[in-house]
Structure 1
Amino acid sequence: MAAYLRARIDRGTLEPGNKLPPTSALMHQFNLSDNAVYRAIALLKAEGYLVSQQGKGVFVADRRKLLAGAQRIRGITQGGETIHHKLSARVQAPEWVADHLGEGECVNRVRTVQRGDFVVEASQSWVHVDVARVVPEIDAPAPCDPTWQAVYEQRSGDTVEVASKTVDARITTDDDREALGLADDFAVLVVRSVYMSEGKVIGVGQAVYAPGHPLSIS
């Protein structure tokens, strides 16, 4: 039962907020005792897949976080989500990026994260050109497995860390609406991160989160 539910949540068939059937229905479906059902649910709660709401039942947990630090470097997607790379190009660093990365050319990578048919996040990163000597894949509009930061760590032997993170909100821009597939203006959450290695800024990132998809800040 636990493996079945875990797989459905990972695939996105069971979505955050979906309510589990009552214990009696699960007992019948999986031919289990009530104690076995309770143990399976307790296991999935401990793993972060399920959450109880007093007097309401057991629900699929929202496992998406505003990932930061080592979590974000290891990967940004959750079960049922896919990354779609839109662009990778050499550009001149925008003013706010240049404040961290320095003026001049950098690699701009653009992607979206989808849950089913919905875009839940539109992200961009601006990476120092020196990183391309270690991770040449950043110049291609394709994923680095799991992220360019993790690949850089592995190949260079130098640790990558998030030096700072800011969380803000704004009304959608034209670019936001196009990236997120929105027809109207909404308030969106914007997270900016600065990545450093060996005392040097090697990249900055910006993630814009779509409205209507509950998030928890960590």
Structure 2
Amino acid sequence: MSARTVAEMVSDLRQQIDGGVLQPHAQLPSTRVLMDAYGLSDNAVYRAVALLKTDGYVYSRQGRGVFVADRRALIAGAERIGGITRPGERIEWRHSIRTDAPDWVAGYIGEGECVERARVVRRGPIIREASRSWVHRDIAAIVPELDEPAPCNPTWQAIYQERSGEAVENTSRAADARIATTDDMAALELPSSTYAVLLVRNVYAAAGRVIGVGEIVCAPGRPIELNPRPS
């Protein structure tokens, strides 16, 4: 067939996944098959698949290939910005500000100014999760939407990847629990007697450097489903 663009390949596969033509956990065709199907180079196919990973449409299994994600199971993470919510849930934007990177964030992206973005996901009267991300200030030169008080569409990672040509990977995903802080209780609208919260942290890298980190906090009894997740 005639050559198509990376954007057209991504759009076509998204439609197949959203329409159920490609079922959850089905393996994507090989790179060679996709190259032939869309008339693209191997690098172009890799870029398209990376975009699908960033948007939560597919995930990798080391040594086995790329598989279709079950988007119905995604209830946390950057995909929320793309509008993936369960019935009765809504995203409430909190802020996008320039601030000095907290110590633990600075350990990943370096000291100094960064862009901090925050939002919550509410189900009825209950806030199900609160999340914040800290993005390296250099990324805002390519994704100026980071400084706007609104979600990026579809995600800041996908926008950066599209404009820079650098694949963005979630290089680390860690789940844990911690003693609830005053900020946690305020963000989740929890009583002061709350002892612990659930925590998930993500690290995003491109071209061999960390460009941002994210933190999702949930109250006890409001668990985060972790699988399947794009790598």
Give the TM-score range, shorter chain. Answer: 0.5 to 0.7
Alpha-carbon distance in 1 for matches of 2:197, 2:82: 22
Alpha-carbon distance in 1 for matches of 2:184, 2:86: 24
Aligned match for 1:187, one of 165, 176, 196: 196
| Residues 107, 74 of structure 1: alpha-carbon distance in 2 compared, 3 angstrom cutoff | closer
Aligned match for 2:217, one of 201, 208, 211: 208
Quick one: which amino acid aligns to residue 221 of structure 2? G
Taking structure 2 as the reference length, what is the TM-score of the superposition?
A: 0.62
Quick one: which amino acid aligns to residue 78 of structure 1? T
- Residue in 1 that maps onto 2:68: none
1:77 correspondence with 2:84: yes
Q: Which moved more, 1:208-217 or 1:152-161?
A: 208-217
Large movers: runs of 4+ above 6 Å: none
- Does structure 2 conserve the Cα–Cα contact (< 8 Å) formed by 1:64 and 1:78? no
| Residues 116, 154 of structure 1: alpha-carbon distance in 2 compared, 3 angstrom cutoff | farther
| Residues 73, 180 of structure 1: alpha-carbon distance in 2 compared, 3 angstrom cutoff | closer
1:154 correspondence with 2:159: no
Alpha-carbon distance in 1 for matches of 2:171, 2:219: 25
- Residue in 1 that maps onto 2:99: 91
1:176 correspondence with 2:184: yes
SS of 2:138's equivalent in the other structure is helix
SS of 2:194's equivalent in the other structure is coil
Q: Which moved more, 1:71-80 or 1:84-93?
A: 71-80
Identify unmatched segments of 5+ residues in structure 2: 1-19, 26-70
Alpha-carbon distance in 1 for matches of 2:166, 2:73: 28
Quick one: which amino acid aligns to residue 180 of structure 1? L
Q: Deviations over 1:35-62 (max 9, x none)?
A: xxxxxxxx9xx879xxxxxxxxxxxxx9
SS of 2:114's equivalent in the other structure is strand
Q: Percent sequence identity over matched residues? A: 50
SS of 1:170's equivalent in the other structure is strand
Alpha-carbon distance in 1 for matches of 2:80, 2:211: 13
Alpha-carbon distance in 1 for matches of 2:208, 2:194: 39
- Residue in 2 that maps onto 1:144: 152
Taking structure 1 as the reference length, what is the TM-score of the superposition?
A: 0.65
CA radius of gyration, larger in: 1
